[in-house]
Amino acid sequence: MLVEQNLRELGLTLPPAPKPLASYVPAKQIGNLVFTSGQLPLTQEGLLYPGKVGIEVSLEQAGEAVKLACLNALATVASTTGNLDSIVSIVKVGVYVASSVDFTEQHKVANFASELLVKIFGEKGKHTRFAVGVSSLPLNSCVELELIAEVK
């Protein structure tokens, strides 16, 4: 099934690839791998759910934010390769969660992105991953996500 069609069936739209906020590229292809820079949950209007998870941001809000960051990462892959149908598999996902010192459910935040990738890509969406808590992220974002995709 074409990935774009699957996105529509899930009620999702791939956003435009975010522009870099500093001196870096959003994604870089090396051989058959595309590495994305860390993606924030940015919309056309700005940052979705700024703040720390466990203080200003709930687990559910962080989940929505990480899904948007994941779609932004996929948009950078698509802008690098021409489309999402070039993806053979999602290799690895990394999720950083700006959280309170007593918040220990970073893995649950990351799982929102993991589940989204499996819904979009099926077996090709299963990946390795890490999720870590950090004291702060750029622009006061609650999450940042990076991924590595294998492409044709």
Percentages of the chain per state (helix, strand, coil), in multiples of 5: 35, 30, 35
Amino acid identity of residue 74, one-letter, is L
In this predicted model, what pLDDT tens digit does every residue of 79-123 receive, in sequence order? Answer: 999 999 999 999 999 999 999 999 999 999 999 999 999 999 999
Please state, in angstroms and rounded to a whole number, the distance separating the CA atoms of residues 100 and 56.
9
**Each residue of 31-73: pLDDT tens digit?**
999 999 999 999 989 999 999 999 999 999 999 999 999 999 9
Domain residue ranges in the chain: 24-151
Instruction: Write phi, then psi, for 44 (nearest 5 degrees).
Output: -60, -30
Distance CA 10, CA 19 (A): 25
| pLDDT of 145 above 90 | yes
Q: Per-residue pLDDT tens for 117-140?
A: 999 999 999 999 999 999 999 999
Q: Please, what sign has the CA dihedral across residues 140, 84, 93, 146?
A: negative
Hey, what CATH class is 24-151 in? Answer: alpha beta
Burial of 124 (0-12, 13-18, 19+ CB in 10 A): middle
pTM exceeding 0.75:
yes
CA 103 to chain centre: 20
Q: What was the pLDDT predicted at 21?
A: 84
Q: Is residue 2's pLDDT more than 90?
A: no
